């Protein structure tokens, strides 16, 4: 089980606000960031294109990823997720960059 924390606008798009959930629980066998996003998009198709480009699969510039307190935004999508994330002990954080003023 993977736990994913998403920002307000993405949770709202995915219809996850009313449940009061902050975390999205995925049951899929996600071993890499790429696996995780593919699983997330399969479960919530409306999120396709909001986190990464639908064609190039590159992370959108104003979206950041954090795992176990580390900014992994620039890591390869093929890198393995930390075991604590894979085991569901720590959530994977998708964050909208703080910008705009």
> Cβ of residue 99: shortest distance to other proteins, in angstroms?
8
| Residues 46-85, interacting with other proteins (CB under 8 A) | 46, 48-51, 54-55, 60, 62-63
> Cβ of residue 62: shortest distance to other proteins, in angstroms?
4
Q: Can residue 17 be called a binding residue for other proteins (CB under 8 A)?
A: no
Q: Determine how β-strand 2-5 pairs with β-strand 92-96.
A: parallel
38's CB contacts (< 8 A; 6+ apart) are 30
| Residues 21-50, interacting with other proteins (CB under 8 A) | 46, 48-50
Distance of alpha carbon 17 from alpha carbon 21, whole angstroms: 6
């Amino acid at each position: 089980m993977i736990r994913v924390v998403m920002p307000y606008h993405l949770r709202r798009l995915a219809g996850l606000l009313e449940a009061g959930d902050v975390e999205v629980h995925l049951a899929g066998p996600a071993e890499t960031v790429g696996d995780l996003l593919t699983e997330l998009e399969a479960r919530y198709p409306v999120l396709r294109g909001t986190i990464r480009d639908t064609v190039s699969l590159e992370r959108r510039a104003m979206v950041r990823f954090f795992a176990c307190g580390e900014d992994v935004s620039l890591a390869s999508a093929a890198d393995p997720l930390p075991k604590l994330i894979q085991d569901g002990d720590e959530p994977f954080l998708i964050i909208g960059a703080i910008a705009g003023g």
